[in-house]
Amino acid sequence: MSALTSEILFEKFQVIEVLKKDEHAAVFLANHVYLSKKIILKVLNTLKMPDPSMVERFKREAKILAQLDHPNIIKVFDFGMSKEFFYISFEYIEGESLRTVFKTKTLTQEQKEHLMIQFLKGLDYAHKNQIIHRDIKPENIFIDKNLNVKLGDFGLALSAEDNFVTNPYSIIGTPSYMSPEQVRGAKLTAQSDLFSAGVVLFELFTGKNPFLKDNVSLTLNEINSFDENLLEEKLYGVQENIKKIILVLLKKNISQRYDTAEEILDELNVQIDQPTIVVRNVNREGTKSKLAWMLIIVIVLVTAGIIFYPRIKEDQPNSAKQNADKNSLQQSNDQQNQIGIEKKQGEPVKDQVDLNKINQPLDNTKTQQQAQNENQKNNDSSQNKSLGYGWLDVKCFPYAQVFINADNFGTTPIKPLIYLPEKEYTVKLVHPDYPPYTTTVLVKADQITQLKFSFDSVMGFISFRVNPWGDVYINNERKGQTPLSGFFKVVPGAVKITIKNPDYREIDTVYRVKARDTLRINFALKKK
């Protein structure tokens, strides 16, 4: 590329900075003279390329990107030939790749979903224009300072008009993001891109690539032979609706994956043409600066306390000390009285062991029976002085009635936390639309034990595609007329499916669905 030494290239690009350069190709940050804006300029020396296919890849990228005009896909301004040089000018993104974001930023759940939605919109647009990317990975997804997503590097992409310029059955792409059919060298479809998108989203929400191994051979073998159930275990802690989407994207069987990215956006209740809301970017340096200032403030306050506390203590009158001790004691009693089980309106409060008699009558006059009961409680308390207490925090989606050792403790969210003696308990969670869930938990003294559960994790999911159309019934309950977006939750077991269309034969069948199954069922109706 020694011939490219002029400050103005191809009579319209003013070079600002050389980003990459060798004897075959170069990448510049430049100013487009006619557009008066910064651009990225890729230049290829067609005479010195050791691999002629690289020239075809370069031209294909220019041709494909020139067809695409979408806010989540990098724009091509122009391309052309000048002597032996082929060039493309792209829009300049003041940002970094998603790979760099993974390494340098900490994203909130909201920001991750924001990136996910934009990425899927860009991919859906490409697919609707008959473009298969074939190299979806974090390095080819670019993020600007406002967390706007741009999908780029379509050098390996295929369009409907390409007629497979490169061998369609060769293995092309980045190994740890390939689909199983891509690994086998099979003909690729948009669903192959969606599998790769699933890997990217898996990494976005967990921080790890599920298939990456020590070398290429092991990685490709993992993609061909991975256990889908084990994959679900690796998504522990990921929000249920996001987890389900990723698991469907990563189905080995193409027919069980989503057909389009728009289907996923439908499940997220996002319209394809709905503008995405800008989410404030995460700036690590800014965060560090804030933390540094907070630390300085804390140090100053602590130092001031150390200097002035002894003097305040010495000057405090005895009566003030007594009042402070009295107030402290009263505050402690008040706090203890607040710990317990929230009483649901209309239900009796459950008996508690030595909780400072939170249910003690306001009337000071005690009946004989009340005195006996109090004595019995005091005896129980003295016998169990060695028994500590802890807290149980139950979080359940969407909600549940909580039974502990058969006692009803109310409906989640339960606040304040449930205060219990230290031991193992049987906890049952009940929701009217789901099968009940029972487990055991060990409450430890002076600790908060958390029980987190989502009822979706014990359900199965079914979606339908009916040709030409049909009314869908699940267990004799009408769900609507196709096309239907999203999945229907079903209780695991035998599920009766009925499809009705007055001009076609009725379908009446039964599917056996397991917990966490995601079935995509296609029906082709037959004339009567």
Known catalytic residues are 135
Query: Which residues lie across from 78 on neighbouring strands?
Result: 89
Question: Using H for helix, E for strand and C for coil, what is the string for 179-202?
Answer: CHHHHCCCCCCHHHHHHHHHHHHH
CA atoms of 99 and 284, how far apart (whole Å): 16
Q: DSSP secondary structure string, 471-524?
A: EEEETTEEEEESS--S-EEE-SEEEEEEEE-TTBPPEEEEEEE-TT-EEEEEEE
Of 85, 78, 58, 79, nearest in space to 2 by CA: 85
348-357 CB contacts, 8 Å cutoff, 24+ apart: 350/407, 350/409, 352/419, 353/377, 353/380, 353/381, 353/384, 353/421, 354/380, 354/381, 354/384, 355/419
Of 114, 65, 117, nearest in space to 91 by CA: 65
CA atoms of 135 and 57, how far apart (whole Å): 13
CA-CA distances (angstroms) from residue 10 to 5, 79, 82, 87? 11, 11, 7, 9
Residue type, 21: K
Say whether 395 sits in a helix, a strand or coil.
Answer: strand
